[in-house]
A and B are shown apart, each in its own frame.
Chain A
Amino acid sequence: MIPDAEFVRDIFTRAALPVAESFNTPYSDTGQAVAVIRLHSENNRTSGSITVSASLYPHQTPVHQEQIRLSSGFHDYQCRALANALSLPPAHWNEFIAIVHKAFACHLANDALSITLEPLVLTPAHLWVVEGGSVRIDTNARFRQPYGAPKMPSAVLGGVSFVPLSGCITCIVNGAGLGMLTLDSIARLGGTTAALIDMGSDGLLEKLSPALEHAASIPSTHAILINLFAGFTHCTDIAASILAWRRERPLPCPVIVRLAGFDAEEALDLIMLAALDGLFSVAESDQAAALAVQLTAQWAVG
């Protein structure tokens, strides 16, 4: 998630980063639970990023990287190692160390996932210049940060996660893993997904109707695939909610329902016996994906 320019300016202003100098990169190897400052070099320029989630430079091998244990902090000797790796003239090491420390402090103070200064340049006039940069913010930390919610490509609204995609089947699921499995099945069968709506593990009955409304409102939706595993909620209650929603409004497109878990068989029977136009019930996840792909293909032909 990249916040807008005004937000980035605010972050850098608050941290009082010098507008000049070389570069640096906070980044983090989350598997090791350590922050990593990485230095990259390209065309005699140096650039880098501070990240807590992933490298922003998947195709570049870092010139040098330093791991930082958050419990013990970031030390000058690590900055010197970075400066040395850049072959910086020793006369500029102290300036460089100050910049790296400020960037890392900015990173911590703002709950950033990454801060990238790209590139950080030491000019012939011995000025440090940051030509560009970006900040990725950990939205989980918004509760203790003064800034408002930045724009996000995927939003979590009312406990429902929404991931917009570019295809034509909108999937409603209750779990990210189940959602990805459903998308994979659709793709494997030649279909495409318009959006993934994840209701999470609790409050399914409260979230279902808004999720269906949202799915139906997406213009590119040619079919809605509901794929749920009900751990504690009765599937018959879920089926009743779907039927009630369906009876209150005309369907904009076919709806395929696959339920597993508590009372699933009875629930699918309820939907089948209701015999409502455009509403289908299927027992297996793969079958549900296949039916959704088939129905969207018919939609395209029709």
Chain B
Amino acid sequence: MSILIGKNTRVLVQGMTGREGRTAAEQMIAYGTDVVGGVTPYKGGEWGVRGRPVFDSVRSAVNATEANASLITVAAPQAVDAIYEAVDAGIGLIACITEGIPMLDMMRLIDVLRTTSTRLIGANSPGLLAPEQSSLGIVPGYITRRGSIGIVSRSSSLMYEIAYGLTIRGFGQSTLVGIGGDPVIGTTFVDILDLFEEDLETEQIILIGEIGGDLEQQAADFIKTRMTKPVYGLVVGHSAPHRVRMGHAGASIERAEETAAAKVSALRAAGVRTADTLAELFALF
């Protein structure tokens, strides 16, 4: 098993005819994912990547293909509209790789999503991947192998590093989930930890955090009270100066609770074994 995606995941790519969408679709298809079509307004009827049909709307695409997941690859000004369209068409799982969506738009969107059964991963996320099963996003498949370690991360680059490091050391993963580096995101650490706790294939979890916000503290509370599986943690940004955005929109220290030290402290208090470096993290396995 895996969480959120698997062999039954039927993927639409919103923005398939654009550069990002084309690349993502190529990667997912090459990995064996069941990509059933794409959506690009005004280009319905064309053929997209590797002969997949392109539709004008998500609703028509769902009617024709029975898609149950969507990858949003459109540009930031159109991304939120694309997400609303997928929600209205009844898509149950959406991953958004688009970076740079205005914060107020995301806040309105998250508020609406609370009233639906749709789960949004991201935005500004690489998506997720279940090794040797399916992919919804741009996580490179070759860096993973199937196994029992669940990975959840705010950083895509570190998630890749750690998955690859585990793979070459012989440790496989159940599912990799990049929740995204923006301050307002659809799915949090707690949501994914909850799913990993229930997943039969996942035996251990790695949580990769960074400065900004309080998602790691929320995760610590959840781990302390609800989790039985061992959790390992790495939090980066210890040397980041305050009030400087360190690449990710959400990676900025505005309050004392948002420092890496505060997050590590909370995680350790919850029983998480934390590492300061990649080498230290791999040595824990």
Chain A residues contacting B103 (CB-CB under 8 Å) are: 30, 52-53, 111, 113, 138, 140-141
* CB <8 Å contact, A176 and B239: no
Which of B44-52, B83-91, B198-206, B213-221 binds A? B213-221
Q: Shortest beta-carbon distance, B63 to chain A, in Å? A: 28
Say whether B254 faces chain A, with CB atoms less than 8 Å apart.
Answer: yes
Q: Shortest beta-carbon distance, B157 to chain A, in Å? A: 2
Task: For chain A, residues 164 to 180, give those with C-beta under 8 angstroms from any C-beta of chain B.
Answer: 165, 173-180
**B219-242 interface mask toward A, CB cutoff 8 Å, 1 = contact, 0 = none?**
000000000000000101111110
Say whether B153 faces chain A, with CB atoms less than 8 Å apart.
Answer: yes
Chain B residues contacting A184 (CB-CB under 8 Å) are: 236-239, 260, 276
Chain A residues contacting B250 (CB-CB under 8 Å) are: 30
* CB <8 Å contact, A71 and B112: yes
Say whether B104 faces chain A, with CB atoms less than 8 Å apart.
Answer: yes
Contact of B214 among A31, A179, A262, A286 (CB under 8 A): A31
Contact of A177 among B23, B208, B213, B239 (CB under 8 A): B208
Interface residue tally for chain A (C-beta within 8 Å): 57
* CB <8 Å contact, B247 and A108: no
Task: Give the docked Cα–Cα distance between A142 and B131 (Å).
Answer: 39
Contact of A180 among B100, B251, B254 (CB under 8 A): B251
* CB <8 Å contact, A232 and B140: yes
* CB <8 Å contact, A232 and B27: yes
Task: Give the docked Cα–Cα distance between A34 and B111 (Å).
Answer: 8
* CB <8 Å contact, B255 and A54: yes
Chain A residues contacting B208 (CB-CB under 8 Å) are: 177
* CB <8 Å contact, B102 and A111: yes
Contact of A178 among B126, B155, B255 (CB under 8 A): B155
Interface residue tally for chain B (C-beta within 8 Å): 69
Say whether B4 faces chain A, with CB atoms less than 8 Å apart.
Answer: no
Chain A residues contacting B254 (CB-CB under 8 Å) are: 53-56, 58
The answer to whether residues A175 and B157 also contact, given A54-B255, A140-B103, A144-B77 and a CB cut-off of 8 A, is: yes
Q: Shortest beta-carbon distance, A234 to chain B, in Å? A: 12
Task: Give the docked Cα–Cα distance between A163 and B210 (Å).
Answer: 16
* CB <8 Å contact, A70 and B248: no
Say whether B76 faces chain A, with CB atoms less than 8 Å apart.
Answer: yes
**B128-172 interface mask toward A, CB cutoff 8 Å, 1 = contact, 0 = none?**
000000000011101100000000011111111100100000000
Say whether A35 faces chain B, with CB atoms less than 8 Å apart.
Answer: yes
Contact of B157 among A54, A154, A173 (CB under 8 A): A173
Say whether B1 faces chain A, with CB atoms less than 8 Å apart.
Answer: no
Say whether B279 faces chain A, with CB atoms less than 8 Å apart.
Answer: yes
Say whether A201 faces chain B, with CB atoms less than 8 Å apart.
Answer: yes
Task: Give the docked Cα–Cα distance between A262 and B140 (Å).
Answer: 10
* CB <8 Å contact, B236 and A181: yes
Say whether A215 faces chain B, with CB atoms less than 8 Å apart.
Answer: no
Task: For chain A, residues 130 to 165, give those with C-beta under 8 angstroms from any C-beta of chain B.
Answer: 138, 140-141, 143-144, 153-154, 161, 163, 165
Task: Give the docked Cα–Cα distance between A186 and B240 (Å).
Answer: 12
Looking at A52, A153, A179, A262, which has the most chain B CB atoms within 10 Å of its CB? A179
Say whether B277 faces chain A, with CB atoms less than 8 Å apart.
Answer: yes
* CB <8 Å contact, A176 and B251: yes
* CB <8 Å contact, B245 and A140: no
Task: For chain B, residues 244 to 284, give those with C-beta under 8 angstroms from any C-beta of chain A.
Answer: 244-252, 254-256, 258, 260, 276-279
* Interface residues in chain B, defined as those with a beta carbon under 8 Å from any beta carbon in chain A: 20, 23, 27, 76-77, 100-108, 110-112, 126, 138-140, 142-143, 153-161, 164, 181, 183-184, 188, 208, 210-211, 213-215, 218, 234, 236-241, 244-252, 254-256, 258, 260, 276-279
* Interface residues in chain A, defined as those with a beta carbon under 8 Å from any beta carbon in chain B: 28, 30-31, 33-35, 52-56, 58, 69-71, 108, 111, 113, 138, 140-141, 143-144, 153-154, 161, 163, 165, 173-181, 183-188, 193, 196, 198, 201-202, 229, 231-232, 260-262, 284-286
7 contacts between A and B (CB under 8 A): A34-B107, A177-B155, A178-B157, A180-B247, A181-B278, A183-B237, A188-B276
New A-B pairs, 16, CB < 8 Å, besides A31-B218, A177-B157:
A52-B103, A56-B254, A70-B111, A71-B108, A111-B102, A154-B244, A173-B157, A176-B246, A177-B156, A178-B158, A180-B236, A180-B251, A181-B278, A183-B239, A186-B239, A202-B20
